[in-house]
């Protein structure tokens, strides 16, 4: 008998315990006057159908841009298409989601099994790459809102010396490497955070983003498309795709008459000059230089990987867990600071310092291995860029540089050859 | 189209590199598609993880913030001495500005019947600072909590508030269940 009572009492206490867990310190009242309780409103987010419509618009704009650049050869068409892109993808969609940021989504979905990428983001990543692989960088010309806003503000473009262009061309590679590293370690999306134009598209930005955006636009009046040429990480991928594209915008529809109207019209120094008729043929010095630069490539890869991997302590501090664990280890007196929200939140949660330190250590491991890949990749690109400087390529005509040309169509507009 | 176009070594290398690029781009896409559900994602605050730090009001890219306080009436006690409405140690239990926790007077107090009061949030005034949430959670039923309002939220690729949330309370949720309002949303055992 007493055992049954004990079980009954235990059961009652259990039920009461469950009720207590429901956080009802003050029980819900029973109203006598016919009071009707309102319910909280739940405004819906943007519909999925609208997201897919964005993908369709992107497809349409990409196809139109390609048709204008390659088939109908209309600079005016590309110009007005870029105005549409600026209005739709820029000011209407507020520049998010964009193909540049989609790199991070794809990187994270490959490294984190718990992260599922939305089909829209994947489409924004893949479609411009595939189009560029067959038709050249027509995405940059007509479909990218960041490119459009810079392109439309070119007033007096300055020609930059080749050494500066090549050297600054490493910045987007470093940016791409860092973006993928930070995305795969779950640290943050740096492309989104440091996008200079998103504040302008939203017409609302914190002070430092306004300064950054306006600075880029002012610079863009004289150095044409500064973000596209020297910062855009997606441009690195498009550059590779475009180098092997099946078709590409051609300046003349038939033969080049070497009038040089195209090179002076290109604001981006993206047109390669023809080589001299009597340029020296490759000799021993040339072959020796080629071999040396090729052998240096593995050296660059290893050096880059080593440096990036060794910097893991600094790079990993961008991660929330690592930052917090280092703060608590090096400044234990901060647990008494009531204004430090991160520490106060950590202390009130159930996590122990040991778990945090272990999590931080795992993140730092990821940075160490990821650093090898990132640094090796940057080293490889540096090595190949250097080697391209010493490789001799014969060119008969003025041709757009396959990697750098944005297919904007200014050159074909200026070209006097019409058939 | 020239019929007998010469296909030299350079063209062959170009074509094969292009083919391998197609394969690698397609491969990356396929790998990313593997665990894709076809759903779209939005950001939302888990009210059970939130520690009411106040960053939701300042870190959102929108001004004013897309985060607003939401009242789960099912859980409310309709108390006269409301922990979320009145400051601790209020002089008098009325609607005087000196007694209110809310810095923008967005929480409206309305008498229903003795001794119950209804508390409603004016969303146009709410800035998402979580002062009322803190009061309600510590001395109350916790029926007031912050939620991201999806008619205001831009659905950024990375939520600026989520990046600095000290309790990592902001999560991606499927867009067909975009809210985690207490009462309709119960804490799961593994969350």
Q: Work out the average pLDDT over B149-160.
A: 93
Q: What is the pLDDT of residue A352?
A: 87
What pLDDT score was predicted for residue A19? 45
| A313-332 residues touching B, CB cutoff 8 A | 320
- Average pLDDT over every residue of A278-301: 87
What would the pLDDT profile of B73-94 be if each residue is shown by its tens digit? 988 989 999 999 999 988 888 8
On the question of pLDDT at A176 being above 80, the answer is yes
Lowest mean pLDDT among A26-30, A245-249, B28-32, B35-39: B35-39
End-to-end CA gap in chain B:
64
Of A109, A133, A341, the CB nearest to B53: A341
Q: Is A168 exposed, middle or buried (0-12, 13-18, 19+ CB in 10 A)?
A: middle
The mean per-residue pLDDT over the stretch A142-165 comes to 95
Mean pLDDT taken over chain B: 88
Question: What per-residue confidence (pLDDT) applies to B186?
Answer: 62
Q: How far is CA B22 from CA A129, A232, B28, B35, B139, in A?
A: 9, 22, 10, 21, 60
Partner residue facing A105 (CB), from B39, B154, B157:
B157
The confidence score (pLDDT) of residue B11 equals 87
Best residue in B35, B72, B158, B159 for a mutation probing chain A (most A CBs within 10 Å) = B158
d(C-alpha A142, C-alpha A57), whole Å: 12
The whole-angstrom separation of Cα A172 and Cα B158 is 21
- pTM (predicted TM-score): 0.90
> Contacts by A287-290 with C-beta closer than 8 Å and gap 24+?
A289/A390, A290/A387, A290/A390, A290/A391
A361-389, pLDDT tens digit by residue? 999 999 999 999 999 999 999 999 999 88
Above 90 in pLDDT, residue A344? no
User: Average pLDDT over chain A, rounded to whole?
Assistant: 90
| A118 vs B40, B78, B150: nearest CB | B40
Strand, coil or helix: B191: coil
Evaluate whether A356 touches A262 at the Cβ level (below 8 Å).
no
- Count of the separate structural domains present in chain B: 1
| Chains A–B, number of C-beta pairs less than 8 Å apart | 159
The closest of A314, A315, A298 to A376, measured between CA atoms, is A298
Judge: B32–A117 Cβ closer than 8 Å, yes or no. Answer: yes
Q: Is A161 a residue whose pLDDT tops 90?
A: yes
Least Cα separation, residue B9 to chain A (angstroms) = 14
What is the reported pLDDT for A211? 93
Question: Does A407 lie at the interface with B, CB-CB under 8 angstroms?
Answer: no
* Statement: residue A405 has pLDDT above 90: yes
User: Per the domain annotation, does B31 fall within a domain?
Assistant: no
Q: Which residues contact A173 (CB under 8 A, 6 or more apart)?
A: A236, A377, A378, A381, A382
The ipTM assigned to this model is 0.88
State which residues form the domain around B105: 41-174
- Residues facing B50 on adjacent strands: none
pLDDT in tens, A84-111: 999 999 999 999 889 999 999 999 999 9
Q: What pLDDT, on the 0 to 100 scale, is given for residue B96?
A: 87
CA distance A101 to chain B (A): 8
Percent of chain B scoring above 70 in pLDDT: 93
Indicate whether B129 belongs to any domain: yes
Query: Which residues on chain A are in Cβ contact (under 8 Å) with B28?
Result: 106, 110
Restricting to B residues 30-69, those with a Cβ less than 8 Å away from any Cβ of A are: 31-33, 35-42, 51, 53-55, 61-63
pLDDT greater than 60 at residue A18: no
- B 110-129 residues with CB below 8 A of A? 112-113, 116, 118, 120
Instruction: Confirm whether B2 is domain-assigned.
Output: no
- Residue A17 pLDDT class (50, 70, 90 cuts): very low
Tell me which residues of chain A, numbers 356 to 385, contact chain B at a CB-CB cutoff of 8 Å.
Answer: none
Read off the pLDDT of each residue in B111-134 and give the average, rounded to a whole number: 92
With an 8 Å Cβ cutoff, are A46 and B154 in contact?
no
Percent of chain A with pLDDT over 70: 94
Given CB atoms, is B109 within the 8 Å cutoff of chain A? no
Per the CB < 8 A criterion, the answer to whether B126 and B69 are in contact is yes
**Shortest CA distance from B76: residue in chain A:** A28
Instruction: Give the whole-angstrom CA distance, residue A6 versus residue A79.
Output: 83
Q: How confident is the model at residue A334 (pLDDT cuts 50, 70, 90)?
A: confident
Q: Is the pLDDT of residue A21 over 50?
A: no
Q: Is B142 in the A-facing interface, judged by CB distances under 8 Å? A: yes
Question: CA neighbours within 13 Å on the CB side: how many for B152?
Answer: 19
Read off the pLDDT of each residue in A280-301 and give the average, rounded to a whole number: 88
| Residue reference for tokens 């520490």 | A343
Place B184 in a pLDDT band, splitting at 50, 70 and 90. low
Cα(B21)–Cα(B26) distance, integer angstroms: 8
Predicted local confidence at residue A1, as pLDDT = 53
């Amino acid at each position: 008998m007493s055992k049954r009572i004990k079980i009954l009492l235990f059961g009652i206490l259990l039920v009461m315990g469950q009720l207590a867990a429901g956080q009802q310190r003050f029980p819900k009242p029973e109203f006598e006057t016919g009071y009707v309780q309102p319910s909280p409103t739940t405004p819906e987010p943007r519909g999925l159908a609208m997201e897919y419509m964005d993908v369709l618009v992107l497809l349409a704009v990409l196809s139109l841009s390609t048709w204008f650049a390659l088939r109908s050869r209309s600079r005016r068409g590309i110009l007005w298409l870029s105005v549409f892109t600026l209005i739709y993808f820029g000011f209407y969609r507020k520049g998010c989601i964009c193909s540049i940021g989609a790199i991070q989504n794809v990187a994270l979905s490959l490294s984190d099994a718990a992260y599922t990428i939305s089909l829209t983001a994947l489409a924004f990543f893949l479609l411009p790459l595939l189009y560029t692989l067959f038709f050249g960088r027509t995405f940059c010309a007509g479909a990218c809102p960041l490119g459009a806003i810079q392109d439309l503000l070119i007033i007096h473009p300055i020609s930059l010396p080749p050494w500066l262009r090549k050297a600054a061309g490493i910045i987007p590679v470093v940016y791409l490497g860092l973006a993928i590293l930070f995305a795969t370690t779950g640290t943050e999306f740096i492309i989104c955070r440091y996008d200079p134009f998103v504040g302008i598209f939203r017409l609302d930005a914190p002070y430092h983003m306004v300064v950054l955006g306006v600075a880029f636009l002012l610079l863009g009046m004289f150095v044409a498309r500064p973000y596209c040429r020297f910062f855009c990480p997606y441009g690195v991928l498009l550059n590779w795709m475009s180098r092997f594209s099946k078709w590409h915008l051609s300046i003349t529809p038939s033969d080049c008459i070497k009038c040089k109207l195209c090179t002076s019209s290109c604001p981006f120094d993206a047109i390669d000059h023809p080589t001299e008729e009597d340029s020296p043929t490759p000799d021993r010095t040339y072959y020796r230089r080629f071999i040396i630069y090729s052998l240096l490539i593995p050296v660059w890869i290893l050096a880059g990987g080593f440096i990036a991997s060794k910097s893991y302590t600094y790079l990993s501090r961008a991660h929330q867990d690592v930052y917090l664990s280092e703060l608590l280890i090096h400044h234990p007196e901060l647990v008494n600071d009531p204004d430090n929200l991160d520490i106060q939140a950590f202390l009130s949660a159930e996590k122990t310092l040991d778990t945090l330190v272990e999590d931080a250590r795992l993140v730092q491991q990821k940075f160490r291995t990821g650093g090898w890949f990132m640094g090796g990749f940057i080293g490889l690109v540096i090595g190949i860029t250097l080697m391209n400087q010493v490789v001799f390529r014969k060119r008969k005509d003025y041709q757009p540089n396959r990697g750098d040309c944005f297919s904007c169509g200014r050159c074909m507009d200026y070209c006097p050859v019409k058939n | 189209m020239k019929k007998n176009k010469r296909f030299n070594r350079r063209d062959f290398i170009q074509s094969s590199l292009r083919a391998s690029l197609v394969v690698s781009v397609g491969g990356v896409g396929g790998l990313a598609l593997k665990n894709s559900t076809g759903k779209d994602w939005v950001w939302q605050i888990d009210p059970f993880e939130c520690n009411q730090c106040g960053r939701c009001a300042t870190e959102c890219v929108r001004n004013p913030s897309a985060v607003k306080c939401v009242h789960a009436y099912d859980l409310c006690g309709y108390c006269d001495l409301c922990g979320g409405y009145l400051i601790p140690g209020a002089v008098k239990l009325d609607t005087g500005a000196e007694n209110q926790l809310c810095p923008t007077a967005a929480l409206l107090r309305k008498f229903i019947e003795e001794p119950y009061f209804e508390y409603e949030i004016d969303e146009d005034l709410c800035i998402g600072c979580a002062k009322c949430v803190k009061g309600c959670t510590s001395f109350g039923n916790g029926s007031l909590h912050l939620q991201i309002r999806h008619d205001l939220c831009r659905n950024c690729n990375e939520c600026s508030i989520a990046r600095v949330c000290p309790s990592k309370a902001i999560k991606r949720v499927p867009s067909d269940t975009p809210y985690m309002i207490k009462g309709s949303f119960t804490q799961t055992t593994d969350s």
